[in-house]
Amino acid sequence: MKFKKTRLERTCSNCEGTIKKGDLYGQKSKSIPMMQTSWSIDRRPQEEIPDWAWEKVYISKTADWCKPCGEKEGVR
């Protein structure tokens, strides 16, 4: 993991610690599972949505990591 200095305060997505201004941090993208339906929001039926209509999709999100966590992760 490459580290860079942050110019704003961030939260480490691994230990939930605060990464203060000027501290080094790394970034990593992770996939987050989300359930979605094939209907767009305004076309959704009013009644309960049946199970078959849901599908699991993964959205990719960039997470911030503090230096200690990032280094630990780099060892693995």
List the one residue from 10, 12, 25, 26 that touches Zn ion (CB under 5 A).
Answer: 12
Give every CB contact of residue 67 below 8 A, 6+ residues apart in sequence: 3, 23, 24, 25, 26
In terms of CB distance, is 53 or 63 closer to Zn ion?
A: 63
* Residue 13-32 contact track with Zn ion, rule CB under 5 A, x = bound: -xx-x---------------
Stretch that binds Zn ion, among 2-10, 11-19, 27-35, 40-48 (CB under 5 A): 11-19
Determine the Cα angle at 19 with ends 60 and 21, to 5°.
115
Structure tokens, 44 = 């959704």
Residue closer to Zn ion by CB (options 53, 67) is 67
Nearest to 65 by CA among 26, 29, 20: 26
Task: Report the interface residues with Zn ion, using CB under 5 A.
Answer: 12, 14-15, 17, 66, 69
